[in-house]
Structure 1
């Protein structure tokens, strides 16, 4: 199967070097599996163990898998994606009324994200949000921890964003809890292991807009999103039909995570890789939009309570403490944010 974007290769002398920059092999479900979690969501007897086995295989091998049967109503997804597209179509000055802050809330223009190790900034534009409510113990710590924050919604200009996004956000968290029960079981723990660390989760949401990559971008090796691993525990991604997500496998080969209708793409993040003493893989991935159309994605990083302690010993890996001492969710995410987003003033 050939890359459908191959006809858009740069026509100049840089074509050969550009080809290595974006190339990715189109794969089938043997590489990134599609896992049906419908029976798990429905509570069908035996489903937990069946899903756990499939999630463990994918999470150990490549750290990525698709899920179908997630039971998120189509109308909720449609409302959220329509609101996302309409939000990004707003004039820049309107979105700029709520610029991203060091609580990771608000609108981030192109050029603010520069991921660790990249040659230049990313092309992406992002709107960030998080929980609307916090547990009382966490709300009392808002002044001490900037990630325990209030959302910044453009209600005066675009109230639909909050109204149409939050039902999807809540539904996605329910899916995340089900998957974490399977991951806990797959690691030999009580399926409720993560529940005690997710009483008021720091679920971080992002709407992401990717413009079309140009020949100039490709000469500069500028990505929609440069190669990176996700910071947290579990990522749940709704991508549109335009493609562009690529994952690096254990052989060091980039493979295309093609859009599959009705699915979410899930992947393991750095915190769960650390928590599991590297049993579960947090793999590099990137986005380059060569589709000729604007690309949109809706992401929820389903992370634990800000004060949850991430300790490999708790997941049955006491030796992991030598490499990964206990850390709170907030401490770890703060550290990664400071290295990847220029609003913190420390990205080089």
Structure 2
């Protein structure tokens, strides 16, 4: 292996802190969580969440179903091939992130909200990404296992946003009216082991990138491989910590806060001896929400660095540049 490629230093608590959500989940104490969370958001844009309240059995059931999905035959996965509404299976060599020298190694299974409000569904023709999920009939347990994980993680996301709202000087329910039927996007991600050829060609599991949305909540298995760029422009290993989620700030929250919070670069390289699996939820607002820094009292009088943009329009534009299905004929 080329150890000069994608080197990263061991993580310190100052790089990616661990935030204890127990005071919030058990006592409703938002302030106890908001202060350390905002410090982490301002420093690196990444933090771990422990005592998050999600049943480990729910997480492990989703992870087991994910593994079974990616071990299906190519033909079985092709039945739910990804479409331009970003649902279904994205196969090998179909993801090339902005600035990468080559495609990523990963495969992804995309889902989103299982149920849409009548109001949001009526907007599907003019708003990207409002669509139905695709589920493989050969693996019926995937739907139930993933939806239980999805719903629990979205509930955690709402708690994170309450803490961020308080940290930005707003009421705790600031985000609620923008999250009535959120465009929460889910991925199951499979990373094969990195080979010598991959490293010689500077191919990552996931090349350096920022996330497109507001916040990301990630459960990663115990194989490692996630790396985060800190404020000193050093790559840091975001090692797995048992029964925690990794949370990070995305592009839309950077825009929404007029650059106050940063969407930070991260990447994945799987140098373990095993396949790597992760389950991120991109917890984003209603598809037609307009992201505008003037929504916040803190930034209302500032010169805006970002023009207003709808959530689904921004994410869809990013998707079209990163994923190959947008340049292929579509059967669905």
* Coarse TM-score class (shorter-chain normalised): over 0.9
1:328 to 310, 318, 321: 310
- The alignment status of 1:202 with 2:183, answered yes or no, reads yes
Distance 1:126 1:104 in 2: 10
2:5 is aligned with 1:21: yes
Shift of 1:319: 5.2
Q: Spell out, residue by residue over 1:182-236, the C-alpha distance to the aligned partner (whole angstroms, 9 max, x if none).
A: 0000000111000010000000000000000000000000000000000000000
User: How much has 1:136 moved relative to structure 2?
Assistant: 1.2
CA separation of 1:164 and 1:65: change in aligned 2, threshold 3 A: same
1:300 matched to 2:281? The reply is yes
Give the alignment of 1:252-263 within 5 angstroms: 252-263=233-244
How do residues 31-110 of structure 1 correspond to structure 2 at under 5 angstroms? 31-44=15-28, 47-110=29-92
Verify the 8 A CA contact 2:259 2:305 in the aligned structure 1: no
The answer to which of 55-64 and 137-146 deviates more is: 137-146
Give runs of ≥4 in structure 1 deviating > 6 Å. none
Aligned pairs, number: 327
| Superposition TM-score, scaled by structure 1 size | 0.92
Alignment of 1:136-285 (within 5 A): 136-154=118-136, 156-285=137-266
CA distance in 1, matches of 2:60, 2:259: 36
Separation in 2, partners of 1:326, 1:43: 37
CA-CA distance at 1:329 after TM superposition: 0.5
Aligned to 1:273, the other structure's residue is in SS state helix
In the TM superposition, residue 134 of structure 1 has moved relative to its aligned partner by: 1.0
Equivalent-residue separation in structure 2 for 1:320 and 1:272 (angstroms): 16
* SS of 2:162 mapped into structure 1: helix
Task: Give secondary structure in 1 for the equivalent of 2:127.
Answer: coil
Describe the shift of the 1:41–1:321 C-alpha distance in structure 2 as closer, same or farther (beyond 3 A): farther
Partners of 1:173 and 1:320 lie apart in 2 by 31
- 2:111 counterpart of 1:126: no
- State the alpha-carbon separation in 2 of the partners of residues 287 and 151 from structure 1: 26
Please list every run of 5 or more consecutive structure 2 residues that lacks an aligned counterpart in the other structure: none
Q: Residue 319 and residue 20 in structure 1: after superposition, are their counterparts in 2 closer, same or farther (change >3 A)?
A: farther
Gap runs ≥5 in structure 1? 1-9, 11-17
Q: What RMSD in Å do the two structures reach over aligned CA positions?
A: 1.2
TM-score, scaled relative to structure 2: 0.96
In structure 2, C-alpha distance between the alignment counterparts of 1:203 and 1:43, rounded to whole Å:
26
Question: 1:318, CA displacement in angstroms?
Answer: 2.9
Deviation sequence 1:153-208 (CA, Å, 0-9, x none)? 11x21111001111110000110000100000000011100001000000000000
Inter-partner Cα distance in structure 1 for 2:4 and 2:97: 20
Within 2, Cα distance between the matches of 1:242 and 1:233?
26
Change (3 A) 1:283 1:94: same
